[in-house]
Chains A and B, each alone.
Chain A
């Protein structure tokens, strides 16, 4: 008996979400390869440089917004169902959020891909940050709004399950996986208010032509109100995997359940009032608020450093149970030959590296050194592009068998895949970081200029380029391996009663050691709202006071 036998309805909806996620990953990954080849000049004939931006919009939206959101929804359906031991309260509701998200995704995707059709008026080459006054087709904004609304309903679905469970278990602690799901979604509600206001109040009326000018700074600020917390919306599900599944895959148990809860609380409270750290280089935001954002951002290092300790300690516990010894020798006893474990662990290592470049990004004045250079994609391909994406891929090797009742096929390929991703990303990302220090810009189809040349600070420009191109190729090969293994197992895997060992042992220090106040949802939400008000009420009021749409810039369709 595995998940699909115990909870067939949940398995079905989780699979539907995963299917959409993997298709988005496939298309987005292909775009990534073409970008890497185009930028470096290895192949500039696949698309034109004007189409590059349509493709880059597709890459950002399909990977950072669609792949992540659908995978997370599938993962949370699985986690809430198994940890509460109950299927969703009302399947019609569950399927309705799935379809709303999917329809929104399709609308936005059509708007983006329209850019490849010559003469099409349906276009959306605005990148996944869609800063006005560049304007996309209304389909793009309406689709984005539907994706968000669907995700809100998904969150409501999990709260519903929780409340129903609570009625039957008035005195029990919230099971950890449900706890992590609820706190992630609470953070998501707090932060998506910003982008929802931006899209619904400002951008949709403007793209439909009801108003004909727009103040660029206000929507940009609302976007970044959402834009940092969204990275934690991607990351926390990876933490969910690292806290609740990785210890088991290592052969051990979670070191501390309370620490996991504390970490999620800190993320709920601090994730949103830090958005200005994406605007350190913006005119129109005072230095004082930039400083406040920096202090809160750097404080957010704490939960990640705590996670580092707890997760590594849980792995060490596993290794020591398997006979590991010493300060470092135990690392060799970890199951590096198991694809799910190896992928999560390699993702964690890359995250540690991404943490360093993130500190540089976060630190107000040094940020100017790397702002909008290719350093930044170098950073987030380590974080969302590996810590999150590789964890999701790796854990799929363990989840998809439970959801389909079929064993994993092509185990060797599955094992090579995370190592290949790691290698490809090492090449691509280190080169992007160094390219950024040389001043090479991000989001640029042809970073070659006629009036000057770049000088590399470390290495040479031509070596940086080939590392990006080769890295991109290896990543794409790794992605093909992943898709092959997953779909082959999904549709042709051998049926088994117990396709994987899906038992998750209790934490070493369990919820009995965690103070009750950690489960006080209301308290933490109120604190989160208070900090957001401190950070945003004054600047937003100032931007709104001179008129919602002014100082108004004319519309520039792209």
Chain B
């Protein structure tokens, strides 16, 4: 086969570029601990009343758990519960695990201006862990089309400093 020497060189350069991209992601994943969500568990979207999603909100994690708080969020047409009517309130400097699902259609769960962003799929539980360093109130929005009023599906996520966090508000 005839491949010009410049083109041979370019093939080499291209492969190097590809290797660099993949390596960066691997480094980001392992060194910077920047993860994506995986397969946790499935639920029956027509029977959520038997799960913790029946009583959504922020809970103290079970003793011995690797995280400090668990947040259960129900996304439905066209609100987050909690999130829309009242903000999701979590403390700084704690490991927080979110669990999000939907009883109706696909939704998105995006914390605006952060790298917290996931699909919400009926039948699946989106689970991810994060921590917040500084107190701040973030916007929350649905970024997957979910019906005629999709554009009003929004809310807030309020991060308060650890000392001001009121554990009495937690779901028991």
- The reply, when asked whether chain A contacts chain B directly with Cβ atoms under 8 A, is yes
Report A's interface with B, CB cutoff 8 A: 49-50, 53, 125, 127, 131, 133-134, 213, 215-217, 220, 255-256, 258-259, 279-287, 290, 294-295, 298-299, 301-302, 305-306, 309-310, 313, 359, 363-369, 371-373, 438-439, 441-447, 449-455, 509, 513-515, 546, 550-554, 556, 558
Give the chain A neighbours of B139 by CB distance below 8 A: 439, 449, 451-454
Give the chain B neighbours of A509 by CB distance below 8 A: 2, 4
For the A-B complex with A133-B104, A213-B46 known, give 8 more contacts whose Cβ atoms are closer than 8 Å: A310-B7, A365-B28, A371-B119, A452-B138, A513-B1, A550-B44, A553-B122, A558-B147
Give the chain A neighbours of B116 by CB distance below 8 A: 368
Give the chain B neighbours of A454 by CB distance below 8 A: 112-113, 139
Is the C-beta of B70 less than 8 angstroms from some C-beta in chain A?
no
Is the C-beta of B134 less than 8 angstroms from some C-beta in chain A?
no
* Inter-chain contact A283/B121, CB cutoff 8 Å: yes
* Inter-chain contact A558/B148, CB cutoff 8 Å: yes
Give the chain B neighbours of A127 by CB distance below 8 A: 145
User: Please, how many angstroms separate the alpha-carbon atoms of A155 and B109 in the complex?
Assistant: 41
* Inter-chain contact A439/B112, CB cutoff 8 Å: yes
If A283-B126, A298-B22 touch, does A364 touch B155 (CB 8 Å cutoff)?
A: no
The minimal Cβ–Cβ distance linking A282 to chain B, given in whole angstroms, is: 5
If A283-B127, A365-B34, A558-B147 touch, does A553 touch B117 (CB 8 Å cutoff)?
A: no
Q: Which residue of B lies closest to A134 (CB)?
A: B105
Is the C-beta of B165 less than 8 angstroms from some C-beta in chain A?
no
* Inter-chain contact B156/A452, CB cutoff 8 Å: yes
* Inter-chain contact A365/B29, CB cutoff 8 Å: yes
Give the chain B neighbours of A282 by CB distance below 8 A: 37, 119, 121, 124
User: Please, how many angstroms separate the alpha-carbon atoms of A299 and B112 in the complex?
Assistant: 31
* Inter-chain contact B113/A551, CB cutoff 8 Å: no
Give the chain A neighbours of B155 by CB distance below 8 A: 451
User: Please, how many angstroms separate the alpha-carbon atoms of A256 and B142 in the complex?
Assistant: 48
Which of B10, B36, B39, B106 interacts with A131 by CB under 8 Å? B106
User: Please, how many angstroms separate the alpha-carbon atoms of A553 and B18 in the complex?
Assistant: 40
Give the chain A neighbours of B118 by CB distance below 8 A: 281, 283, 368
Cβ-closest 8 pairs across A and B? A452-B139, A551-B123, A553-B122, A441-B143, A372-B143, A50-B148, A283-B126, A513-B2
Give the chain A neighbours of B147 by CB distance below 8 A: 134, 556, 558
Give the chain A neighbours of B166 by CB distance below 8 A: none
* Inter-chain contact A298/B123, CB cutoff 8 Å: no
If A53-B145, A298-B18, A305-B17 touch, does A368 touch B36 (CB 8 Å cutoff)?
A: yes
If A452-B156, A551-B44 touch, does A283 touch B37 (CB 8 Å cutoff)?
A: yes
Which of A125, A217, A301 interacts with B14 by CB under 8 Å? A301
A-B contact count (CB 8 A): 227
Give the chain A neighbours of B42 by CB distance below 8 A: 284, 546, 551
Give the chain B neighbours of A363 by CB distance below 8 A: 21, 24-25
Give the chain A neighbours of B124 by CB distance below 8 A: 216-217, 282-284, 551
* Inter-chain contact B10/A309, CB cutoff 8 Å: yes
Q: Which residue of A lies closest to B147 (CB)?
A: A558
* Inter-chain contact A359/B21, CB cutoff 8 Å: yes
The minimal Cβ–Cβ distance linking A286 to chain B, given in whole angstroms, is: 5
In the complex, how many residues of chain B place their beta carbon closer than 8 angstroms to a beta carbon of chain A?
71
Give the chain A neighbours of B145 by CB distance below 8 A: 53, 127, 443-444
Give the chain A neighbours of B146 by CB distance below 8 A: 134
Q: Which residue of B lies closest to A290 (CB)?
A: B36
Q: Which residue of A lies closest to B77 (CB)?
A: A556
* Inter-chain contact A554/B104, CB cutoff 8 Å: yes
Give the chain B neighbours of A450 by CB distance below 8 A: 154
If A301-B18, A443-B150, A444-B150 touch, does A283 touch B39 (CB 8 Å cutoff)?
A: yes
Give the chain A neighbours of B25 by CB distance below 8 A: 294, 363-366
Give the chain B neighbours of A453 by CB distance below 8 A: 139
If A215-B123, A514-B1 touch, does A306 touch B14 (CB 8 Å cutoff)?
A: yes
Give the chain B neighbours of A513 by CB distance below 8 A: 1-2
Which of B40, B117, B156 interacts with A451 by CB under 8 Å? B156
A-B contact pairs, 7 of them (CB 8 A): A131-B105, A283-B126, A284-B123, A365-B25, A372-B144, A444-B151, A552-B123
Which of B3, B18, B150 interacts with A302 by CB under 8 Å? B18
User: Please, how many angstroms separate the alpha-carbon atoms of A513 and B1 in the complex?
Assistant: 5
The minimal Cβ–Cβ distance linking A135 to chain B, given in whole angstroms, is: 10
Q: Which residue of A lies closest to B103 (CB)?
A: A553
The minimal Cβ–Cβ distance linking B149 to chain A, given in whole angstroms, is: 7
Is the C-beta of B125 less than 8 angstroms from some C-beta in chain A?
yes
* Inter-chain contact A372/B108, CB cutoff 8 Å: yes
Give the chain B neighbours of A452 by CB distance below 8 A: 112, 137-140, 154, 156
User: Please, how many angstroms separate the alpha-carbon atoms of A295 and B132 in the complex?
Assistant: 31
User: Please, how many angstroms separate the alpha-carbon atoms of A553 and B117 in the complex?
Assistant: 23
The minimal Cβ–Cβ distance linking A275 to chain B, given in whole angstroms, is: 15
The minimal Cβ–Cβ distance linking A453 to chain B, given in whole angstroms, is: 8
Give the chain B neighbours of A133 by CB distance below 8 A: 104-105, 122
Give the chain B neighbours of A372 by CB distance below 8 A: 108, 110, 117, 119, 143-144
* Inter-chain contact A305/B39, CB cutoff 8 Å: no
User: Please, how many angstroms separate the alpha-carbon atoms of A367 and B119 in the complex?
Assistant: 13
User: Please, how many angstroms separate the alpha-carbon atoms of A443 and B143 in the complex?
Assistant: 8
Q: Which residue of B lies closest to A279 (CB)?
A: B119
The minimal Cβ–Cβ distance linking A12 to chain B, given in whole angstroms, is: 40
Would you list which residues of chain B between 2 and 22 have a CB under 8 Å from chain A? 2-4, 6-7, 10-11, 14-15, 17-18, 21-22
Q: Which residue of A lies closest to B157 (CB)?
A: A452
User: Please, how many angstroms separate the alpha-carbon atoms of A443 and B150 in the complex?
Assistant: 9
* Inter-chain contact B37/A281, CB cutoff 8 Å: yes
Is the C-beta of B141 less than 8 angstroms from some C-beta in chain A?
yes
Would you list which residues of chain B between 31 and 76 have a CB under 8 Å from chain A? 34-40, 42-46
Is the C-beta of B169 less than 8 angstroms from some C-beta in chain A?
no
Give the chain A neighbours of B34 by CB distance below 8 A: 365-366
Which of B37, B46, B149 interacts with A553 by CB under 8 Å? B46
Which of B17, B108, B125 interacts with A301 by CB under 8 Å? B17
Would you list which residues of chain B between 84 and 110 have a CB under 8 Å from chain A? 103-106, 108, 110
Give the chain B neighbours of A364 by CB distance below 8 A: 25, 29, 36
